[in-house]
Structure 1
Amino acid sequence: MADRTSSSITIKAGKAEIMEVIADLEAYPEWTSGVRFEVGGTGDDGRASRARMTISMGPINDTVDLTYTWDGDTAVRWETVGAGTMISNLHGSYLLAEAGDGTEVTYELAVDLKVSMIGMVKRKAEKRIIDSALKGLKRHVEG
């Protein structure tokens, strides 16, 4: 598996409010660019258990099928169950922890590609995906 890229941001809201936004996969285009989801199944909690993600950001443009594991309002993890044409494996997570008057949200992402790409370029693309998502999530929740 690839090395993980991660970043954190503090959002002035509770974990439940933030996780509600994260769990609404089909609404992602409202607050982050380059990513769309189609939910393919939900668990007993009503949250996505499977989804198809289409990503179009920088050098990474592909569609993959993912499964999700939710840990209440504390964490969500996803992994590839159907590779795309560029992406062979994708693992990620949002981890939420109380932080003073808000919540620290950490986004971790690891992408394995079928195509050869310089490591620095791949990490830069991962970082761009993470930063876009975290900043968009903060604006959306706090706005």
Structure 2
Amino acid sequence: MADRTSSSITVKAGKAEIMAVIADLEAYPEWTSGIRGFTVQETGEDGRATRAKLSFDGGVFIDTIGLAYTWSGDDKVSWELVERGSVVTDLYGSYTLDERDGSTEVTYELAVDVRLPLIGMVKRKGEKRIIDSALKGLKRRVEG
């Protein structure tokens, strides 16, 4: 897996409230651009997804992939590719939450590899666009 891209945003809410929105995978199409659908396939004892299928429209390509999730309470969730799509060949992502003084810093980290040959700068720019869109959508969803 190549280098990861990350960005952070401050959300005026506690970790538990934010993580509840993050954990509701099937609602992502309502607040995250490009996500066409999520189907939770398996859940853990805490009721959170451990495996899910994600369908998205990346503008240039549309794909469906399988992801496995690892939850660390309300502090962090990470996911990795377990079922390749027609374009996506590898993927790792995470949200890390750090609560301070009534607000929470949310850091989103992402690395994606695709079948298409892309130079590193173009790939990181695409990852950054995905991250920024997701963080802004999450902030609007939680604070709105």
Q: Could you list the runs of 4 or more consecutive aligned residues of structure 1 that deviate by over 6 angstroms after TM superposition?
A: none
**Mean Cα displacement is larger for which, 68-77 or 49-58?**
49-58
**Mean Cα displacement is larger for which, 111-120 or 128-137?**
111-120
Residues 1-143 of structure 1 aligned to structure 2 (within 5 Å): 1-35=1-35, 36-143=37-144
**Mean Cα displacement is larger for which, 53-62 or 27-36?**
53-62
Q: Percent identity of the aligned residues? A: 67
Could you tell me how far apart the structure 1 residues matched to 2:96 and 2:49 are?
A: 17
Say how many residue pairs are matched: 143
Could you tell me how far apart the structure 2 residues matched to 1:5 and 1:131 are?
A: 11
Q: Residue type of the partner of 2:31?
A: W
**Mean Cα displacement is larger for which, 15-24 or 108-117?**
108-117
Q: Residue type of the partner of 2:133?
A: S
Change (3 A) 1:2 1:59: farther
| Structure 1: 5+ residue stretches without partners | none
**TM-score scaled by structure 1?**
0.96
CA-based RMSD of the aligned residues comes to 1.1
Q: Residue type of the partner of 1:56?
A: D
Shift of 1:54: 1.2
**TM-score scaled by structure 2?**
0.95
| Structure 2: 5+ residue stretches without partners | none
